[in-house]
Structures are given as structure tokens and as C-alpha cells.
Structure 1
Amino acid sequence: MKCPFQPFKLTVAVVFTLLSAASSPLGLTAQAKTAGSLQFRMPAPPSRGIPAGRYRGGASRGVCPKTNPELTALVPFKEETLIRAIGPETIARVWGLTSASHPTFWFYMPYDNRLGFPVEFALQDEDGNDVYRTGVDLPTKPGIVRVTLPSTVPALEAGQVYHWYFKVYCAQKQQGVPIQVEGVVLRVTPDRALQKQIESATPLQKVALYAENHLWYDTVTTLADLRSAKPEDPALTADWHSLLESIQLSDVADAPLTECCKALQTADIKGKKR
């Protein structure tokens, strides 16, 4: 099954420029951050744009229980209105940068494992070929879940665009129309100056450096790992709230980080998924 994104190409030079332009001597800035002041700013999109995605997954017709909040991708987005022949249409560009070869993707899951719904995560290259596809188990309670690209899958290539989607089928055997979220990840290479700062920074300083340099997936994963290690730390909790508020997802900021999710099956698939 192909992801509904339309394939598009992005030159390496454009992506690398984003990191080089954003990079600056941020060591002192990272140290000066106060709890609850962490902010994330989306970089300018690549010149050829980002395809429309979906950061919320509403209940499908008559099958999936309605929840508030809904299935949510923890990814920055920008909504815009397009003028169509049938009238205006609001779409969302859902995307983020990473420097990681095997990034982690984060979602708010409103369902627990008592429901037994099949869940699927997939990552595709810009030609629609599957890079990774796996079933995912549900958490024991609603909350924030993670899906990490395993080391058995080839590393993401710098300068390349990858499409991901996360589906919940509210019926057994993946029948019916799922609810889903979908977006884009672009891998970039930090310049030498920024890399040196990252290597010498503490984990909390890295969070600020990643955020200042528009590396979303690195930012949220590093902060989430810190929160998992110290769940009662008020400063980390304040930073988590501030980070999600800065990308307009404050309604899932209080959701617990769950010890989930285990891949039910993994695949490094060559060719297109039919």
C-alpha cells in the first residue's frame, strides 16, 4: 500500500542550507535557558515545498471510538488555506528535521490494549518505496508512545525526504477505514561548529541546541528520554509543556509517557508495498 503523498524531490543543498544558516554559537544560550522557556520554531520549508499531511486522526465513520484528544502526531505543522474550484480547503504541512540516522517518532495514542486495535507504522522514501513497515502494540493506557527506526534498517540518507504514517484500525484484521496521521522527516547534517557544541553539551543543553537549530525529532526525543529518567522533575515537565505548546499541541502535554511501543513485526522492504 502506498502512502498518499505525491513523490517529490528535494536537493541536498537546500536541506544543508537550513542547518548551516541556523547554526550559531549557542552554548551560552543553551545554559541560560530557564525551565518552561523551551520553544521550537519551524524552519522555512524547502523551496519545492512539503506535501500535505495530517497531524490529527479523527474517528472514522461509525467504527473508532471518539476521543479527546484524538490520535496526534507530535510533529510541528503549519496550516494553510488553498483555494479550490469547489471552495477553500485547509491543509496542514506536517514535517520536521533530524540529524539522526535512525530517528524516533512520537504520537499521542488515545486507545489502550484492551481494545485490541491493529496499529501500523510505515516509512517510505520519496518514490513511495517502503523503507520500514511494522505492526505496533497498543499501550496499557492512553498516552505518548514512540516508534524508533531499528538499527537493522538502513540509515536515513542525509538530504533525502521520507514519508511516514501511523494508522489505527478500529476493527480486527485491519478492516475498514483507519484513522491515521502522516508527515515528513528530512535528515540533515549539522555543520562542524554545531556538531562540536552538541558533542560537548549536557543532555539538557542538547535539547536547547537542537530546538534552536530546528532539529525537531532530536529535540523531542532527547527531552522525552530525560523525562522518562526523571518523571518527577518539575523543570523537565515545564520544558515538555513549553515545547508542545510552541507547536500548538498543548492538549496532549499532560499525557503520560508510556513504556510503549514494541514492534510486532519488522520489515526492511525493497520495492513498493502493494
Structure 2
Amino acid sequence: MFRTLINKAIVTIGLSSLLIVSYSHVALADHNRGGQEGLPGSRIGGGTRGECYLRKPLVALVPENNLVLTKSAYPKLFFYLPPTTTPKQIEFVLQDEDNNEIYQTMFTSNGSAGVMNVSLPEKESIPPLAIGKDYRWQLVIICDSEKREHDIGVNGWVKRVKLDFAQTKKLEQAKPREQINIYTASGLWQDALLKLAELRYEQPNDTRLSHDWSELLRSLGLDAIAQEPLVNMERQVTSPLSMK
């Protein structure tokens, strides 16, 4: 049921000028909550469905308007997988505006909780995201493979945007933590999330980075998972099942 796209919506996205700012609630709210029309979707999925009992909801780490802006042709999306009593199959699907499937993959979680990422792999068979186009993503926990109506899922949109010369130059000259600030000030919070996650993987004992991560999630209304562990996908997944 999660593969059926609802009617397309049109959204006008305005990128503000690049300023190096802190992870304040106001800065992120201006770009991700106010002044931008949202697209249909749901970043929270939970409840009890058949074989699934979730004490905490499945969460997509995306803005409240369900639209992810990114400069990446092959982006990574982040999700919080709640603990489950047994390993569960997870399915991720990416479709274009015309309902054509761009990418699909399935894997088995190990049942533990944590924030993990799903990447759109750079392969010849998978086209890069086109600039200015809306793509629909869906991630579901398969509770019963014989009764897919019991799936628990989240879904939303991702759009690739092009940075101008000045923006690109600022990023090239900035230090890693400054790059995160530039991304958030530009509304490219998924890129900010990825850069911060990479730094946390490299420096797991840096308390400043842990604090920045928590503040970034709280600024987007994701307080409930701000303290959840960040895990490598390879550690969260026990085995890939299929890939297109």
C-alpha cells in the first residue's frame, strides 16, 4: 500500500542567503517549518500491526513539511528504527513524480534501536536525482509478508537543488563544523545531518558533536529521538535481501 503515490503537489522552495549561524531553533524553523508549503507524507509511523508491536514509533529524520532538500545526486536518508522483539524485514523504495520506481532495497534489521541511513547507491543502473524534481521515498517495517496491509511505514519527498558559485565557494573554504552551519542556514538540513553524522562516526567521543546532533534534531521537533544512538548501517542490518 505504501507504493501507491498520492496526487502530486507543487511546492515553491526559496533558498535564503548563506550565513554561518548556530543550530538555533529560529534558524532551522525559518527554513523547514515556516514559509514553505509542505508535501503529503508522514515522518512518524507506529502502533501495533499483526506481528509488530512497537514501544516507540518508526521515525524519518526529515522536516515537518516532509520535503528533504539536498545538493546530492545520490543522497542518504536517515531513519530511527525502534527496538523490535525479533528481527524484521525493512523495505525502502524511491519513485519519481510519474510513479516510476528508481530504487528498491530490502534488508533485515537486528531488532536493536538506533538511527541508521539508507543510501541511493551510485550505480550505472540508477540515475542520479534530477535537479528541481520531486521524488517520493518510502520506508516500511514488514510485520507480516503475507499481509502487507500491516506494514508500518513513513514516507515523504526529496528534491535535489543546485548551489550557485558563491555557495559552493563558501562550502569549499569552510571547516567541517562551519559547513554544517552553512547547510542549515540554506535549508539543506539533510546535508547538514549527513556531515554531522560523518563527524560523529569519526569522533564518537566528541561531546560537542553529540550536543550539536541533539540540538539539530530538537530544532526540527524530533526531541523524542535526540538521544538515540547513531549506528552504522552495516551494524544495524544483518543481511541484505534484494536490490535493484
| TM-score range relative to shorter protein | 0.7 to 0.9
Aligned to 2:40: 52
Q: Is the 8 A contact 2:72 2:160 kept in 1?
A: yes
Q: Give identity over the alignment, percent.
A: 32
Please name the residue that 1:23 is paired with: 17
Deviation (angstroms), 1:2: 6.6
1:104 is matched with 76
Letter in 2 for 1:225: E
Q: Mind listing any 5+ residue stretches in structure 1 that lack a counterpart?
A: 78-92, 268-274
Asked if 1:73 is matched to 2:60, the reply is yes
Cα displacement (A) at 1:265: 2.2
Partner Cα distance (1:139, 1:188) in 2 = 35
Q: Is the 8 A contact 1:53 1:182 kept in 2?
A: yes
Question: How far 1:264 moved relative to its partner?
Answer: 3.3
Unaligned stretches of 5+ residues in structure 2: none
3-state SS, counterpart of residue 208 of structure 2: helix
Equivalent residues of 1:160, 1:186 under 8 A apart = yes
TM-score, reference length from structure 2: 0.87
- Name the structure 1 match of 2:67: 95
TM-score by length of 1: 0.78
CA distance in 1, matches of 2:144, 2:3: 20
Which residue matches 2:241?
264
Distance 1:229 1:115 in 2: 30
Deviation at 1:5, TM superposition (A): 3.2
Code of the residue aligned with 1:6 in structure 2: it is: I
When the two chains are superposed, the root-mean-square deviation of aligned CA atoms in Å is: 2.3
Matched, 1:200 2:188: no
The counterpart of 2:88, out of the listed 105, 109, 117, is 117
Spell out, residue by residue over 1:139-183, the C-alpha distance to the aligned partner (whole angstroms, 9 max, x if none). Answer: 462100100100012110000000101000123466451000001
Which residue number corresponds to residue 214 of structure 1?
187
Structure 2 residue aligned with 1:235, among 199, 208, 212?
208
Q: Please list the CA deviations of residues 87-117 of structure 1 after superposition, one character each: whole Å capped at 9, or x if unmatched.
A: xxxxxx31120000001000000135x7231
